[in-house]
Structures are given as C-alpha cells and as structure tokens.
C-alpha cells in the first residue's frame, strides 16, 4: 500500500473525513475504514489529519501527500447528496421522527422523556452540528417547559439517589467473620437472573434492619420486598460504591415457625 491514511468525504459530501487502510475487498481493491470526522474546511481538515497521523507515529508527508486542500471540489450542504439523509430531512419538515424507536411518529406526540433522557441528553439549548438532530431539537424547543421539568426531576432524583447511597455508606458494616455460619433476617432489595454456561445464576441483594448489605450469587431467594430469614456462611467481605457488603454462600431459608435468631 502506498498510503495508510486518506482524506475523503462521506456519502453526503458534507464533511472531510480521515480514513485508515483496513485490508482489501474480494475484488482486490483496498478498503479504508472511517477514523474520524475532520472539518468542512479543507485546510482545517488537513491540519487535523496531520495532527492525528503524527500522533500515530506515521510520516505525515507520505501519509497524506495525495490531498491538496487547494485542489478539492466544494462540499455540499448537509444531506443534499445523500437520498436517505434527504428523506430524513423531509420527514422532519413534516414533523415526523425519521429514526429510532419512534420512527414514523409525530415528533410532537413522542414522550418528552425520550428527548430529555436520551436523544438530546438533557440539553435542549445547545445547537447541534448534525442537521438532522438540530432540526429535531428546534421542534422539541416548542415543548421546552415540559423538557426542563423532566431535567429538573432527573436532577432531584439523582440527588436523592446520592443521598440514599451516602446514608447506606454511613450505616453499612461488615457482618461476622469469614467462614462463620450466621442467621440473617433481611429484606430482599434486588434479585435478578443472568444466563451463563451453567444455566441461570441469580444475584440477590439483601438489607437488614441495621442497614447492613448481604450479597448472594446462586439460586433465587425471593422477590424484591420479601422479608426472609436464612442461615448462611460468610464467604467474604467486600465493598461496592463505598457501601460495605457481606457476601454469603450456602444459604438455607428458615421456616417461618423458627425464630430468626442466632
């Protein structure tokens, strides 16, 4: 191969991009993979490409010698050359979502949480460089009050989660000694199964009245919210997100008639 890198334009010819040699097609033609978007300005695109190639330890002059910023065709406005992109822009102009889980639905009818929590990631005011996302954002700004209500609710919920975690950090302690057999009365706070080579393994998280957290990996102990009384062996002491955890093994759920005491 003569060059490892090339500067090209994408399908819509709206941006210069840097490509890296990535093998050959079955026809024998070289294949280049996208590395990064550069710029709409050819001189700026070349500068950014040179910086990247130099950082990769390659020779800049030979790697990019075929690109002359003074001798390139002009770029098009976003989407003018790409039929698929143009179709998306036409749908947006009609107020229709052109992609994603709500494809084909009216943008005004899509739950505002979708835009606040994911598509616009909590930011409705910043202009987007991608034309499709920008035109969608402009339509969503008509629902700015609802958008900001979701954002504020998320901030409040996050603050509460952090406060709850901090409270658990201060309350939780490691229980007993490794290898000790103990009796636990605790509420299941989480129980979820995960498929593996040997079948389904459940991760069970429990919390007792003192705020101590117990973790068991194995069979399902019950459902979230269930109060259980069990005898188990302390396998190890751990820590997750600053919360002390006591990992247990070989749990035996005690009958309700038995006292849940050591």
Average pLDDT value for the chain: 87
Q: 167 lies in a domain?
A: no
Domain that holds residue 107: 83-147
Average pLDDT (30-51) is 88
169: in domain: no
Please report whether residue 228 resides in a domain. Answer: yes
Distance of CA 124 to the CA centre of its chain: 19
Lowest mean pLDDT among 51-55, 143-147, 256-260: 256-260
The model's pLDDT over 122-167, given as tens digits with 9 standing for 90+, comes to 999 999 888 899 999 999 999 999 999 999 999 999 999 989 888 8
Give the count of domains, the chain: 3
The answer to whether residue 156 is domain-embedded is no
Residue 176 lies in a domain: no
pLDDT of residue 29: 82
- The strand pair at 30-39 and 16-24 is best described as antiparallel
Please report, rounded to a whole number, the percentage of residues in the chain having pLDDT higher than 70.
92
Domain end residue (candidates: 147, 162, 196): 147
pTM of the model: 0.49
Indicate the pLDDT class of residue 262, thresholds 50, 70 and 90.
very low
Q: Model confidence over 77-111: pLDDT tens digits?
A: 554 456 777 788 889 999 999 999 999 999 999 99
Rounded Cα distance between 249 and 5, Å, is 55
Percent of the chain with pLDDT over 90: 52
Residues 249, 201 share a domain: yes
Instruction: Please tell me the predicted confidence (pLDDT) of residue 22.
Output: 85
> Looking at the domain assignment, is residue 72 inside a domain?
no
Write the DSSP string, 172-214. ----S-TT-EEEEEEEEEEEEEEEETTEEEEEEEEEETT--EE
Strands 213-218 and 243-253, bridge-based pairing: parallel
Give the CATH number for residue 230: 2.40.50
| pLDDT top residue among 76 and 187 | 187
As a whole number of angstroms, the distance between CA 22 and CA 125 comes to 39
Q: Are residues 57 and 104 in the same domain?
A: no
Are residues 187 and 127 located together in one domain of the fold? no
Under 8 Å between Cβ of 58 and 73: no
Q: pLDDT of 158-204, one tens digit each?
A: 999 989 888 888 888 999 999 999 999 999 999 999 888 878 999 99
Please give the pLDDT value at position 107.
97
Indicate if 96 and 141 belong to the same structural domain.
yes
The reply to whether 135 and 102 lie within a common domain is yes
- Of 97, 121, 147, the last residue of a domain is 147
Query: Is the pLDDT reported for residue 209 higher than 70?
Result: yes
Compute the distance between CA of residue 30 and CA of residue 33 in angstroms, rounded to an integer: 10
Examine residue 244 and state whether it is found in any structural domain, yes or no.
yes
Whether residue 157 lies inside any domain: the answer is: no
Statement to judge: residues 26 and 89 lie in one domain: no
- Give the mean model confidence (pLDDT) for residues 13-27: 84
Looking at the fold, whether 58 and 102 belong to one and the same domain comes out as no
């Amino acid at each position: 191969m003569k060059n490892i890198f090339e500067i090209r334009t994408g399908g819509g010819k709206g941006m210069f991009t840097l490509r890296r040699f990535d093998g050959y097609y079955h026809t024998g033609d070289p294949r280049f993979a996208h590395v990064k978007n550069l710029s709409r300005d050819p001189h700026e695109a070349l500068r950014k490409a040179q910086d990247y190639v130099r950082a990769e330890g390659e020779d800049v002059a030979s790697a990019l010698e075929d690109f002359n910023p003074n001798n390139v065709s002009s770029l098009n406005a976003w989407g003018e050359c790409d039929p698929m992109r143009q179709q998306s822009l036409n749908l947006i102009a009609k107020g229709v979502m052109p992609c994603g889980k709500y494809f084909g639905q009216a943008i005004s009818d899509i739950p505002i949480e979708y835009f606040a929590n994911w598509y616009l990631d909590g930011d409705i005011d910043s202009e987007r460089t991608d034309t499709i996302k920008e035109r969608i954002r402009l339509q969503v700004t008509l629902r700015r009050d609802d958008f900001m209500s979701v954002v504020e609710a998320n901030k409040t919920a996050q603050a509460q989660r952090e406060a709850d975690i901090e409270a658990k950090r201060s309350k939780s302690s490691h229980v007993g000694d490794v290898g000790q057999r103990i009796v636990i009365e605790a509420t299941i706070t989480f129980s979820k199964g995960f498929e593996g080579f040997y079948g389904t393994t459940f991760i069970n998280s429990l919390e007792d009245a003192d705020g101590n957290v117990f973790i068991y990996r194995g069979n399902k102990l019950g459902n979230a919210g269930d109060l259980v009384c069990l005898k188990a062996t302390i396998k190890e002491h751990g820590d997750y997100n600053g919360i002390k955890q006591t990992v247990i093994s070989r749990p035996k759920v005690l009958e309700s008639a038995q006292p849940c005491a050591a």
